[in-house]
Amino acid sequence: MSAHIISATRAKIEGCKNPIEGNPFATRGDFARAVRDICSPTLPMLSPGGARLRLGKTAATYEMVTAELEGYARLLWGIVPLIAGGSAYDEALPRILQGLASGTDPDNPEFWGIPGGDQRGAKDQRLVEMAPIGLALAMAPEKFWEPLSAATKANLTRWLETCLTRPYNDNNWRFFRVLVALGLEKVGHSFDRQPVEDHLARLESFYVADGWYEDGTTRRYDHYIAFAMHFYGLIYARLHGDKDPERAARMVDRAKQFAGDYLYWFGRDGSAIPYGRSLTYRFAHASFWGALAFADVEALPWGQIRGLVARNMRWWSKQPIGDENGVIKLGYAYPNNLMLEEYSADGSPFWALKAFMPLALPAEHPFWTASEEEHPLDDSASSLQPHAKMLLYRNEGHAIAVSGGQSVVRHRNSPAKYSKLAYSSHSGFSVELDLRSAEHGAFDNSLVVREAGDGLWRARETSEVEAMAGALISRWRPLAGVEIESHALVAAPWHIRVHRIRTDRRIETLEGGFSVERVEDDFTVNHNTSRETGDYCAAIFPTGCSLIADLAGNRTGQMLYAAPNTNVMFMRTGIPTLVTTLEPGETVIACAVTSSEAADRIEALIAALPELGRRFAQLDLGG
């Protein structure tokens, strides 16, 4: 069996070259080499004037010239700290400087254009991509400013200064004006600071409590809180804290508080829970920990912070994320356009380079001198995080979030990204292709309903969530006349879900557990040993197992073989499910859900079900 598994795994990676594959991320030099390995395959693709980088033909909501600016500018998130920290990158720096000259010259055919807005009233993406250019001036003016001609300096400052008068999205975007201002100030360019102060004040109004911000007023609490709100705030605290000490101190204190919660989002192997939008930014998840180091904030012991960054990078070094030339492609754990947002272009993934901020630190900084420490949480740890509406726990070192559901937004696949019942750093989650069939809906960790015999499957979208000690309660309405109250609690390595459903019509229901990577399930070498019974469903493949068990005695197990490329982690998956049809009235359905990397652990998990059922029967879930 092992020979076939190895063959399947190699086939999965064939044609995908990971630019950081094999990098141990053990030393500062390893991190520096990673920046070069990620950026160098893109340099031959720069336009003749160096200002535009077209990495593919994927369209986003903004025009192609802006997408090409994005490709150029996002490389700076890695190149700037690399060079600011004293490392050389002679292959890239001259082309970057050439690009600054070409892109900001109105008479040059590669001019980036003046930020404004389009006919739909959308804010200009150029305002986003200005930020790393401003950061370059702020962190290493001797490399990114002083070599420029007088004419280029004038063009560059004139172009950057347009950010002071243009409208921004009312969320983390407001930080981009702040970062540009840091650069303009560093090079001695005078400007009106009031628009910057206005944005700083508005950003602080997004603070909620306990280290948590909102990303604007959308009631979303995802990785953006870490790699945007806190990341930029820590940069501001480091670069401008001497001039704005009280605000900087608040930013630092909030980041310290947040670190204790965000720790739970990472597994022992370095993987983070994929949750929310913009997952194509990949190891940007580690950038919060790197920003703590950059700001010299020891929110956790330095060895733990170093370990969180290094393990995340090592996990990504093992994923097939690049094309045949080693250019990182759109997707998450493999190239995949199905899970993208409408604002994702081919240069978007290079925001991952934000993880390399610690390279700006000298080699003697304690982040680099500390010995890497293991993840401090074991499988007994759990955390109720009411702002994120999550109850997090551990299983086999993996991070799992039982979710009450968050605000669903207009972006693609938002219900799947924000409102499933659970998310896992090991199993990922799936996005729907077509709600008319269960296979194309790929409903892992979802309860979906539809009117019996007809219609689309409906999942949880908007919900009212109540968090209490050890439990989450969400109330939601998937269809007119159908009300569901979902209770979720943890009994590690399981979590239990109880749904009280009131319906005025006959409905069909389907509830999925964790996805399992599906390999070697063909007719020649069939290692699919999944089971469907009246009490449970178990997805069992060489890669592991997943179990969903009925606790109320009114559902039947049924395997769901999801359509390919629906899961953000795995190209082909199996999902254990429970199904039933409900008559009008009130019904309680309940299940226990767990998974394991070891397929042979399934027997022990099944054996534990009777005891788990007895414990469930003793629960008082209220009326």
Pairing state between β 390-395 and 382-385: antiparallel
Token output for 277: 């939008």
Please name the residue that has the structure tokens 């390399």: 356
pLDDT, position 13: 55
Reported as a single tens digit per residue, the pLDDT across 465-513 is 998 877 899 999 999 999 999 999 999 999 999 999 999 999 999 999 9
Determine phi and psi for 124, rounding to 5 degrees.
-80, 125
Asked if 551 contacts 592 with a C-beta cutoff of 8 angstroms, the reply is yes
The mean pLDDT value for 109-122 works out to 76
Reported as a single tens digit per residue, the pLDDT across 2-28 is 333 333 343 345 668 999 999 999 999
293: CB partners within 8 A, 6+ apart: 302, 305, 306, 309, 357, 358, 361, 365, 367
Asked if 194 contacts 182 with a C-beta cutoff of 8 angstroms, the reply is no
Pairing state between β 516-517 and 507-512: unpaired
Residues 314, 316, 319, 320, CA torsion sign: negative
Task: Evaluate if residue 192 carries a pLDDT over 60.
Answer: yes
Percentage of the chain beyond pLDDT 90 is 86
More confident site: 525 or 85:
85
Percentage of the chain beyond pLDDT 70 is 96
pLDDT, position 623: 52
Reported as a single tens digit per residue, the pLDDT across 282-300 is 999 999 999 999 999 999 9
Asked if 391 contacts 465 with a C-beta cutoff of 8 angstroms, the reply is no
Amino acid at 128: V
| Largest separation between any pair of C-alpha atoms in the chain | 78
pLDDT, position 230: 98
Token output for 348: 């978007």
pLDDT, position 217: 84
Rounded distance between C-alpha atoms, residue 225 and residue 122, angstroms:
22
Rounded distance between C-alpha atoms, residue 175 and residue 203, angstroms:
8
pLDDT, position 2: 36
- Provide the mean pLDDT of the chain: 93
Reported as a single tens digit per residue, the pLDDT across 132-147 is 999 999 999 999 999 9
Facing residues of 248 across strands?
none
Integer CA distances (angstroms), 101 to 89, 111, 145, 497, in order: 19, 9, 11, 58
Task: Evaluate if residue 122 carries a pLDDT over 70.
Answer: no
Q: Where are the alpha helices (DSSP H) in 75-187?
A: 76-84, 93-103, 126-139, 141-144, 150-161, 174-186
Rounded distance between C-alpha atoms, residue 335 and residue 565, angstroms:
9
Token output for 528: 């699919």
pLDDT, position 523: 66
Reported as a single tens digit per residue, the pLDDT across 225-238 is 999 999 999 999 99
Task: Evaluate if residue 547 carries a pLDDT over 70.
Answer: yes
Facing residues of 497 across strands?
488, 591
